[in-house]
């Protein structure tokens, strides 16, 4: 046992004394010490209930012969952090989460880990730590929130958090009253759990299952269902099997497993943030990963699920329809899945999907009847983004797949949002938001507020938004993010001027600034790096260490 270093021999009597001070008996100390990384808090709706799941995990560990040792992990709610300085801390928290799990596991000689995340950066942060530590590990997420019902349309389409964001734009454009907005606000988020669409949190929880680090059901069982508690108990039991058989993340998170996860990503229409996170996790796992893989796998993988924000279905619908295992089984029929990969069940992907079935062919479509022939994400290249940029193409309206228009240039999200809400953006415009990248932000803020305002004002069929920042998984429309290199590094986006024409061709994977090279070189000769926006604290250190978005925005020391 790895924990022998903290509990065996006469030299470890002081260590055992400290464990006994926590209430552990000699019998418990002799068992494998299983870390339970619990990201519960009472700020984040996806995490407010996680102590209940942690108790179930600990019960499972005890039943299987281990001793659970629980520790806390921070978590940011992207929705609450949105559109103010708090969003600068969201992506930046991912590195702290990974580091803190590493510290707790190594400092206390833990034998294995059960990790309990739910929301946006907590899932990838914990996956990065699991890959780095390579201890036997298993994930059990907190599960998705149920969707809401519009107070004035009880039999109408379901609503969610994005409905609220877009309703703000509707109020500002005069299409909705503030009283109606208040009613939507009260109804959109009816339970605890990660926000109910295929936004970043649920995207990453589904991909955790697809890559093999969570049990079947990890991505889709709603937070409020007793099946979620049972899943947590089973995960606690299963970690002892993984420990006994030494099935570690390096055996699970292989190149083939990442390819499986990307195929599921494309079939589901996941958040653009999955590109950042899968890249970062792959680096920790020592698995080659570049943006060209996105286009390669997206180009051959059909889009089978039309999930909010691009469609009308929610995670509860996907769960009812058969969940991630049913999606994997359908993809496997077309040869898009490597069924030999080992998973946290201690069985292969092929064995896991034997009894999976599609129970609603509208929620999970067949390979012969996809929503789109190609996958959810696309990476565009061109003189504006030499190292690439990312768009959720399945959430883009048909008329915006190809678009050209004049640039409306803003050096911050705040200025762009004000211009949109004040009615200064017109049909045909291309809104450019820069100096919001990993270094320039710092922290690479999500642009859900301006994109939701564009949609709420019914401009999403006429206006594109480009940024070196990123987007919420809840964003829809021609929203193109992660433009690399970023403006703060002198990338071409820093050279765009008001009125320049920008051509976007998503099917051709191209994005072009229609300005002569000689003009760009002259502009570059005049460009000066901006002064750091923040000079103290964690974000100052983050800005100095973080790398480019096209490489996962990881600390440069890791790349």
Please give the radius of gyration of the chain, using alpha carbons only, rounded to the nearest integer: 23
Q: Is 226 a catalytic residue?
A: no
Residue (of 307, 348, 306) closest to 328 by Cα position: 348
Q: Cα separation of 399 and 405, whole Å? A: 13
Pairing between strand 33-38 and 112-116?
parallel
Tokens representing 109? 């000689």
Pairing between strand 67-72 and 33-38?
parallel
The b-or-e profile of 333-362 (16+ CB within 10 A means b, else e) is eeebbbbebbbbbeeebbebbeebebeeee
What are the residue ranges of helices labelled H in 194-272? 200-211, 226-245, 249-252, 255-268
CA atoms within 13 A on the CB side of 300: 14
CA 295 from chain centre, in angstroms, equals: 18
What spatial distance separates the first Cα and last Cα of the chain, rounded to whole Å?
A: 31
Q: Cα separation of 516 and 235, whole Å? A: 58
Dihedral angle sign, alpha carbons of residues 452, 457, 458, 464 = negative
For residue 383, the tally of other CB atoms under 10 A from its CB is 15
Which H or E run includes 403?
strand 402-410
Q: Which residue has the tokens 């009847």?
A: 369
Tokens representing 332? 């496997």
Tokens representing 31? 């068992």
Residue (of 104, 141, 138, 134) closest to 119 by Cα position: 141
Question: Which residue of the set 271, 472, 484, 548 is catalytic?
Answer: 472
Q: Which residue has the tokens 């349309």?
A: 153
| DSSP-derived secondary structure letter, 224 | T
User: What is the DSSP code string of 71-87?
Assistant: EE-----HHHHTTSGGG
CA 317 from chain centre, in angstroms, equals: 20
Q: Cα separation of 32 and 444, whole Å? A: 40
Task: Point out the residues that are catalytic.
Answer: 472
């Amino acid at each position: 046992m790895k924990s022998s270093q903290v509990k065996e021999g006469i030299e470890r009597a002081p260590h055992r004394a400290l464990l006994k001070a926590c209430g552990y008996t000699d019998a418990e100390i002799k068992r494998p010490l299983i870390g339970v990384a619990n990201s519960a808090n009472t700020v984040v709706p996806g995490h407010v209930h996680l102590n209940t799941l942690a108790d179930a995990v600990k019960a499972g560990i005890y039943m299987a012969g281990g001793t659970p040792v629980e520790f806390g992990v921070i978590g940011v709610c992207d929705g609450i952090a949105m559109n103010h300085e708090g969003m600068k801390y969201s992506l930046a928290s991912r590195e702290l989460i990974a580091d803190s799990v590493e510290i707790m596991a190594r400092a206390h000689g833990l034998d294995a880990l059960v990790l309990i995340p739910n929301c946006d950066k907590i899932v990838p942060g914990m996956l990065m730590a699991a890959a780095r530590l390579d201890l036997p590990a298993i994930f059990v997420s907190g599960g998705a929130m149920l969707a809401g019902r519009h107070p004035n349309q009880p039999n109408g389409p379901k609503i969610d958090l994005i409905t609220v964001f877009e309703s703000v734009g509707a109020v500002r454009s005069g299409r909705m009253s503030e009283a109606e907005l208040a009613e939507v606000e009260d109804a959109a988020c009816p339970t605890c759990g990660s926000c109910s669409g295929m936004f970043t949190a649920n995207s990453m929880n589904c991909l955790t299952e697809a890559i093999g680090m969570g049990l079947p059901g990890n991505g889709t069982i709603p937070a409020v269902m007793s099946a979620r508690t049972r899943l947590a108990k089973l995960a606690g039991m299963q970690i002892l099997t993984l420990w006994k058989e030494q099935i570690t993340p390096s055996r699970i998170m292989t190149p083939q497993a990442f390819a499986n996860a990307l195929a599921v990503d494309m079939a589901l229409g996941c958040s653009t943030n999955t590109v950042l996170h899968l890249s970062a996790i792959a680096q920790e796992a020592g698995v080659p990963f570049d943006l060209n893989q996105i286009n390669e796998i997206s180009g051959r993988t059909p889009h089978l699920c039309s999930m909010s924000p691009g469609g009308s279905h929610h995670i509860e619908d996907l769960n009812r329809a058969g969940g991630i295992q049913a999606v994997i089984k359908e993809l496997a029929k077309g040869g898009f899945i490597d069924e030999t990969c080992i998973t946290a069940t201690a069985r292969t992907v092929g064995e896991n999907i034997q009894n999976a079935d599609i129970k609603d062919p509208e929620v999970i479509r067949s390979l012969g009847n996809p929503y789109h022939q190609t996958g959810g994400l696309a990476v565009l290249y061109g003189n504006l983004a030499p190292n690439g940029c990312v768009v959720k193409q399945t959430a883009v309206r048909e008329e915006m797949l190809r678009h050209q228009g004049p640039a409306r240039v803003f050096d911050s999200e705040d200025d762009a949002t004000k211009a949109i809400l004040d009615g200064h953006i017109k049909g045909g415009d291309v809104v450019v938001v820069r100096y919001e990248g990993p270094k320039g932000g710092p922290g690479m803020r999500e642009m859900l507020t301006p994109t939701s305002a564009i949609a709420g004002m019914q401009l999403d069929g006429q206006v594109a938004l480009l940024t070196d920042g990123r987007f919420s998984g809840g964003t829809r429309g021609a929203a193109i993010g992660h433009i690399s290199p970023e403006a703060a590094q002198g990338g071409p986006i820093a050279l765009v001027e008001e009125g320049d024409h920008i051509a976007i061709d998503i099917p051709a994977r191209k994005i072009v600034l229609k300005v002569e090279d000689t003009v760009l070189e002259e502009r570059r000769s005049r460009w000066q790096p901006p002064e750091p926006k923040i000079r103290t604290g964690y974000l100052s250190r983050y800005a100095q260490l973080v790398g480019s978005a096209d490489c996962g925005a990881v600390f440069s020391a890791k790349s």
